[in-house]
């Protein structure tokens, strides 16, 4: 057959999140290692079977991970941070879990390795740590064992490994500073060893992922590709170099001279001209064309691909077709969904259906299947486009009528700030929190019972009000200045809002791995978005009746709602963000009319939505900022707008953060010992700012002295009139004991600093 198909990787969490539950049971000693290993094996077997049953030509092996695929490489090359090692212990799964999760046992007390976002996805990997003069060896042979496993089942196997250069790029140097690229030479021999072992097993192809080829690479990094692949290359096994999440035009000069046998490119995220590909790429490469989107859940337009690929067949006798990237970012199986109507369901494809799409497409191209199959497959796409579920003329009209004055506050910050200070009457260094208070098992049970209709609306509302009452009481006792209702009614900051908005649908089992055992179930944006009723107003209003202190209302911003959902693809992201923004704008106005004087619009995903290449940043930042302002600018000067951001490097986007023109930003900094503040030495943030003074992700209680020191440090860079005091993120994952003790210390520290200031 001329055209073959394959995928770059498959989800590993299991059809019913078996891996998640098994891991968590193993960590809490409820199952044995033997049980855990068995569950992993079952998942792999079932994944391979699904791939073959769907009609793929080979199974992809090595995409399974007990926690994370970057960590797999750390284990493979024996890159174990010394704090995670135990004397004479042979590498085992517990070592792996210690790196990922830290450990508090008597044998070993150590903190986890850092975790960060995998390119521009919502998946998090464990950041490799490198130290000076480090040595490596081939110590963890999971890749070989799993290859043997799949071979013994009679499959045609294509193993996949993350490439050495991307691996190094993703890691961090600890201790003495050096160029991590210097370590390449020591890592290459391990890849050579793996390739030699695989070739002994008669494996024909190995896929090596080097997604950094889509980035803007420094010269030395770019050149290291030639050096590395010359060394790794062997005539005993063929290398398919896989790139994804963007195009590689800017690195083509290097790519085209690499001694590899095949090249995978992402035709969904990358801007390629299929008609020119044959000229663009080295004719010796077998091209693998990523045509099926691995990042979204929409059915593929197979007819469009068929037409283009049919043409491409005239240029190249043979090539492969594939998913754009690994299917790690897509839920597993659409057929599990019972709550979606058949009509809506017919618009989507999850991982298993995407394998089927590849199989249909390749078989029709190879004349093994009639084109009618493709026509049948795409019928729902046409039905979707003309469906009245997705079109809302009123929303579309409103988008067209957005005017510049709708995205600008009435007065500038100096004027607003004076009015707000008079109005709110807050002390210097006002204290506040980020929104959520502990989500106890009681609260979670309450929400589940309500969802399953086990309790009435009235009972639910009454109980939520009790929780709000308690939150207010606790905050008053602690002496916070700006109070919140505590978000007991919210499961997740995006799902909660989208459930109240027209234009979204929800799956029951559409889980996607976020990190380790954690999964998220992103809502799906299918149509024009509008608000049906006020969402949060009732709760904030109720909270305000309980206290004389100002209540800060809490909303999730448009960019975050967009980033953490599966977006529709028939209109631009900018358009979707603006639709969400208009819906939230109405909510903001309703809150203000209900007597709320402070409104926080969270945008933790603002940085994460940033395109991978600098070239595309301005465009994104411009519409992202405008969307935010479209929600926030509707208020009077006297209403104070806050935003909150976390989990990211802000320095790159600081000028856009300034452009948001919020009155107050609360921002995560405490984990990096307020590293961010250094930035304010040279960059004067013009409005009020609350750099988080303690890390809510840790159960440790910050001491009064620690917080005081941080505040003193912050005051070096930020004028006291502009500084707020708050934790670095929401408190929902903490217990009440931890929360009260930590906030108590935060408030005492603030009082101490206030006293010092007044003495002067």
Which active-site residues does the annotation give? Answer: 697
Q: Based on the shown chain and the rule CB under 6 A, indicate whether residue 644 belongs to the binding site for ligand GLN.
A: yes
**692 in Cβ contact with 670 (< 8 Å):** yes
Interface positions, 247-276, toward ligand GLN (CB under 6 A): none
In whole angstroms, the minimum distance from the beta carbon of 18 to Zn ion comes to 30
Asked whether residue 564 is marked as a ligand-binding residue, the answer is yes
Q: Locate all alpha helices (DSSP H) within 236-371, ordered by sequence.
A: 252-255, 277-280, 302-315, 342-345, 351-365
Binds 602, which of Zn ion, ligand GLN, none (CB < 5 to 8 A, cut-off by type)? ligand GLN
Residue nearest ligand GLN, Cβ-based: 730
For ligand GLN, which stretch binds (CB under 6 A), given 51-59, 346-354, 525-533, 726-734? 726-734
Binds 732, which of ligand GLN, Zn ion, none (CB < 5 to 8 A, cut-off by type)? ligand GLN
Asked whether residue 602 is marked as a ligand-binding residue, the answer is yes
**CB nearer to Zn ion: pick between 526 and 646:** 646
Q: Based on the shown chain and the rule CB under 6 A, indicate whether residue 729 belongs to the binding site for ligand GLN.
A: yes
Alpha-carbon gap, residue 318 to 669, rounded angstroms: 52
Residues 6+ away with beta carbon under 8 Å from 654: 679, 683, 685
Asked whether residue 199 is marked as a ligand-binding residue, the answer is no
For ligand GLN, which stretch binds (CB under 6 A), given 241-249, 294-302, 381-389, 727-735? 727-735
Residue from 239, 554, 610, 674 that binds ligand GLN (CB under 6 A)?
A: 554
Alpha-carbon gap, residue 566 to 255, rounded angstroms: 32
**727 in Cβ contact with 692 (< 8 Å):** yes
In whole angstroms, the minimum distance from the beta carbon of 493 to ligand GLN comes to 5
- DSSP, collapsed to helix, strand or coil, labels residue 265 as strand
In whole angstroms, the minimum distance from the beta carbon of 538 to ligand GLN comes to 18
Chain centroid to Cα 519, Å, comes to 11
Binds 667, which of ligand GLN, Zn ion, none (CB < 5 to 8 A, cut-off by type)? none
Interface positions, 408-467, toward ligand GLN (CB under 6 A): 434-436
Chain centroid to Cα 725, Å, comes to 28
In whole angstroms, the minimum distance from the beta carbon of 473 to ligand GLN comes to 19
**CB nearer to ligand GLN: pick between 42 and 521:** 521
Strand (E) or helix (H) holding 153: none
Alpha-carbon gap, residue 527 to 525, rounded angstroms: 6
Asked whether residue 286 is marked as a ligand-binding residue, the answer is no
In whole angstroms, the minimum distance from the beta carbon of 728 to ligand GLN comes to 9
Asked whether residue 357 is marked as a ligand-binding residue, the answer is no
In whole angstroms, the minimum distance from the beta carbon of 549 to ligand GLN comes to 18
**641 in Cβ contact with 603 (< 8 Å):** no
**CB nearer to ligand GLN: pick between 358 and 606:** 606
In whole angstroms, the minimum distance from the beta carbon of 668 to Zn ion comes to 6
**CB nearer to ligand GLN: pick between 300 and 493:** 493
In whole angstroms, the minimum distance from the beta carbon of 470 to ligand GLN comes to 17
Asked whether residue 132 is marked as a ligand-binding residue, the answer is no
**541 in Cβ contact with 362 (< 8 Å):** no
Phi, psi dihedral angles at 640 (to 5 degrees)? -95, 125
Q: Based on the shown chain and the rule CB under 6 A, indicate whether residue 552 belongs to the binding site for ligand GLN.
A: no
In whole angstroms, the minimum distance from the beta carbon of 521 to ligand GLN comes to 16
The tokens for 403 are: 């005017």
- CA-nearest of 136, 209, 113 to 167 is 209
Chain centroid to Cα 557, Å, comes to 16
How many Cα atoms sit within 13 Å of 387 on the Cβ side?
18
In whole angstroms, the minimum distance from the beta carbon of 159 to ligand GLN comes to 37
Binding residues with ligand GLN: total (CB under 6 A): 13
Binds 435, which of Zn ion, ligand GLN, none (CB < 5 to 8 A, cut-off by type)? ligand GLN
How far the first Cα of the chain sits from its last, in Å, is 83
**CB nearer to Zn ion: pick between 65 and 731:** 731
Asked whether residue 637 is marked as a ligand-binding residue, the answer is no
- DSSP, collapsed to helix, strand or coil, labels residue 396 as helix
The tokens for 759 are: 């003495």
Residue from 604, 690, 691, 702 that binds ligand GLN (CB under 6 A)?
A: 604
Q: Based on the shown chain and the rule CB under 6 A, indicate whether residue 493 belongs to the binding site for ligand GLN.
A: yes
100-106 long-range contacts (CB < 8 A, ≥24 apart) are: 100/67, 100/68, 100/71, 100/126, 100/516, 101/27, 101/516
Q: Locate all alpha helices (DSSP H) within 518-664, ordered by sequence.
A: 537-545, 558-563, 573-593, 617-632, 654-659
Q: Based on the shown chain and the rule CB under 5 A, indicate whether residue 646 belongs to the binding site for Zn ion.
A: yes
The b-or-e profile of 319-341 (16+ CB within 10 A means b, else e) is bbbbbbbbbbbbbbbbeebeebe
Q: Based on the shown chain and the rule CB under 6 A, indicate whether residue 732 belongs to the binding site for ligand GLN.
A: yes
Asked whether residue 117 is marked as a ligand-binding residue, the answer is yes
Asked whether residue 325 is marked as a ligand-binding residue, the answer is no
Binds 554, which of Zn ion, ligand GLN, none (CB < 5 to 8 A, cut-off by type)? ligand GLN
Site string for ligand GLN, 41-80 (x = CB under 6 A): ----------------------------------------
Q: Based on the shown chain and the rule CB under 5 A, indicate whether residue 484 belongs to the binding site for Zn ion.
A: no
Angle at the Cα of 126 from the Cα atoms of 120 and 132, rounded to 5 degrees? 115
Residue from 730, 734, 742, 746 that binds ligand GLN (CB under 6 A)?
A: 730
Strand (E) or helix (H) holding 689: strand 688-691
Asked whether residue 294 is marked as a ligand-binding residue, the answer is no
- DSSP, collapsed to helix, strand or coil, labels residue 284 as coil
Q: Locate all alpha helices (DSSP H) within 425-456, ordered by sequence.
A: 441-451
- CA-nearest of 182, 193, 170 to 131 is 182
- DSSP, collapsed to helix, strand or coil, labels residue 93 as helix
HEC sequence for 567-606:
CCCCCCHHHHHHHHHHHHHHHHHHHHHCCCCEEEEECCCC
Site string for Zn ion, 55-74 (x = CB under 5 A): --------------------
Asked whether residue 355 is marked as a ligand-binding residue, the answer is no
Binding residues with Zn ion: total (CB under 5 A): 2
Binds 264, which of ligand GLN, Zn ion, none (CB < 5 to 8 A, cut-off by type)? none
- DSSP, collapsed to helix, strand or coil, labels residue 84 as helix
Alpha-carbon gap, residue 401 to 403, rounded angstroms: 6
**CB nearer to ligand GLN: pick between 360 and 742:** 742
Query: How many residues are recorded in the chain?
Result: 760
Q: Based on the shown chain and the rule CB under 6 A, indicate whether residue 692 belongs to the binding site for ligand GLN.
A: no
**714 in Cβ contact with 691 (< 8 Å):** yes
Alpha-carbon gap, residue 406 to 391, rounded angstroms: 24
- DSSP, collapsed to helix, strand or coil, labels residue 129 as strand
Interface positions, 724-753, toward Zn ion (CB under 5 A): 729
Q: Based on the shown chain and the rule CB under 6 A, indicate whether residue 646 belongs to the binding site for ligand GLN.
A: yes
Alpha-carbon gap, residue 577 to 364, rounded angstroms: 38
**CB nearer to Zn ion: pick between 374 and 667:** 667
**CB nearer to ligand GLN: pick between 25 and 114:** 114
Q: Based on the shown chain and the rule CB under 5 A, indicate whether residue 260 belongs to the binding site for Zn ion.
A: no
Asked whether residue 659 is marked as a ligand-binding residue, the answer is yes
Asked whether residue 44 is marked as a ligand-binding residue, the answer is no
- CA-nearest of 471, 419, 415, 432 to 691 is 432
Annotated binding site for L-homocysteine: 434-436, 487, 602
Annotated binding site for 5-methyltetrahydropteroyltri-L-glutamate: 17-20, 117, 122, 518-519, 564, 608
Annotated binding site for L-methionine: 434-436, 487, 602
Residues that bind Zn ion (CB under 5 A): 646, 729
Annotated binding site: 17-20, 117, 122, 434-436, 487, 518-519, 564, 602, 608, 644, 646, 659, 668, 729
Residues that bind ligand GLN (CB under 6 A): 434-436, 487, 493, 554, 602, 604, 644, 646, 729-730, 732
């Amino acid at each position: 057959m001329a055209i073959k198909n394959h995928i770059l990787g498959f989800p590993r969490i299991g059809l019913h999140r078996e891996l998640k539950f098994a891991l968590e049971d193993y960590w809490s000693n409820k199952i044995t290692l033997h049980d855990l290993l068995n569950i992993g094996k079952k998942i792999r077997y079932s994944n391979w079977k699904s791939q073959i049953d769907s009609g793929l030509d080979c199974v992809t092996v090595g995409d399974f991970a007990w926690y994370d695929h970057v960590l797999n490489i750390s284990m493979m090359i024996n890159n174990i941070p010394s704090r995670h090692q135990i004397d004479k212990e042979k590498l085992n799964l517990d070592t792996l879990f210690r790196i990922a999760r830290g450990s508090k046992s008597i044998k070993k007390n150590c903190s986890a390795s850092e975790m960060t976002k995998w390119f521009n996805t919502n998946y998090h990997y464990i950041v490799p740590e490198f130290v000076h003069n480090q040595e490596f060896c081939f110590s963890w042979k999971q890749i070989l064992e799993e290859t043997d496993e799949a071979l013994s089942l009679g499959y045609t196997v294509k193993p996949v490994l993350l490439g050495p250069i991307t691996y190094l790029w993703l890691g961090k140097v600890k201790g003495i500073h050096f160029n991590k690229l210097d370590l390449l030479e020591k890592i290459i021999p391990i890849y050579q060893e793996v390739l030699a072992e695989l070739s002994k097993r008669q494996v024909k192809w190995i896929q090596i992922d080097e997604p950094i080829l889509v980035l803007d690479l420094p010269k030395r990094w770019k050149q290291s590709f030639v050096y590395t692949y010359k060394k790794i290359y062997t005539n005993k096994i063929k290398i398919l170099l896989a790139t994804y999440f963007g195009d590689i035009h800017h690195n083509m000069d290097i790519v085209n001279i690499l001694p590899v046998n095949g090249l995978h490119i992402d035709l969904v995220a990358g801007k390629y001209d299929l008609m020119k590909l044959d000229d663009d790429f080295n004719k010796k490469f077998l091209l693998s064309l990523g045509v099926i989107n691995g990042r979204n859940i929409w059915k593929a337009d197979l007819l469009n691909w068929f037409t283009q690929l049919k043409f491409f067949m005239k240029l190249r006798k043979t090539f492969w077709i594939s998913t754009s990237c690994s299917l790690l970012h897509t839920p597993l199986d659409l057929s599990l969904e019972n709550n979606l109507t058949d009509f809506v369901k017919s618009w989507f494809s999850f991982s298993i259906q995407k394998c089927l799409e590849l199989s249909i497409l390749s078989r029709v191209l190879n004349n093994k299947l009639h084109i009618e199959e493709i026509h049948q497959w795409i019928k729902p796409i046409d039905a979707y486009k003309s469906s009245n579920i997705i079109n809302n003329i009123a929303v579309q009209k409103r988008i067209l009528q957005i005017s510049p004055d709708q995205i600008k506050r009435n007065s500038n910050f100096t004027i607003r700030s004076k009015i707000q200070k008079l109005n709110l009457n807050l002390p210097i260094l006002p204290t506040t929190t980020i929104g959520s208070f502990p989500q106890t098992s009681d609260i979670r049970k309450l929400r589940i019972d309500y969802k399953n209709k086990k309790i009435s609306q009235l009972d639910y509302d009454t109980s939520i009000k009790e929780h709000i009452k308690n939150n207010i009481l606790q905050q008053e006792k602690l002496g916070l200045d700006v109070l919140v209702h505590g978000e007991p009614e919210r499961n997740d900051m995006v799902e909660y809002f989208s459930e109240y908005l027209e234009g979204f649908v929800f799956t029951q089992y559409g889980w996607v791995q976020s990190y380790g055992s954690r999964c998220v179930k992103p809502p799906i944006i299918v149509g024009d978005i509008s608000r049906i009723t006020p969402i949060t107003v009732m709760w904030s209003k109720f909270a305000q009746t309980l206290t004389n202190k100002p209540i800060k209302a809490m909303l999730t911003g448009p960019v975050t709602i967009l980033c953490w959902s599966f977006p529709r693809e028939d209109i631009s992201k900018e358009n979707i963000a603006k639709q969400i923004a208009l819906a939230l704008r109405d909510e903001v106005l309703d809150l203000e009319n209900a007597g709320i004087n402070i409104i926080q619009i969270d945008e933790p995903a603002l940085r994460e939505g940033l395109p991978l290449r600098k070239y595309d940043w301005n465009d994104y930042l411009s519409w992202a900022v405008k969307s935010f302002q479209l929600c926030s600018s509707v208020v009077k000067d006297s209403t104070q707008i806050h935003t909150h951001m976390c989990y990211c490097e802000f320095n790159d986007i600081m000028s856009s953060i300034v452009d948001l023109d919020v009155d107050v930003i609360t921002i995560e900094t405490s984990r990096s010992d307020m590293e961010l503040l250094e930035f304010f030495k040279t960059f004067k943030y013009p409005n009020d700012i609350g750099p988080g003074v303690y890390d809510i992700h840790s159960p440790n209680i910050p001491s009064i002295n620690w917080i005081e020191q941080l505040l003193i440090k912050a005051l070096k860079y930020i004028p006291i009139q502009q500084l707020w005091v708050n934790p670095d993120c929401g408190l929902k994952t903490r217990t009440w004991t931890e929360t009260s003790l930590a906030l108590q210390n935060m408030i005492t520290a603030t009082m101490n600093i206030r006293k010092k200031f007044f003495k002067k």
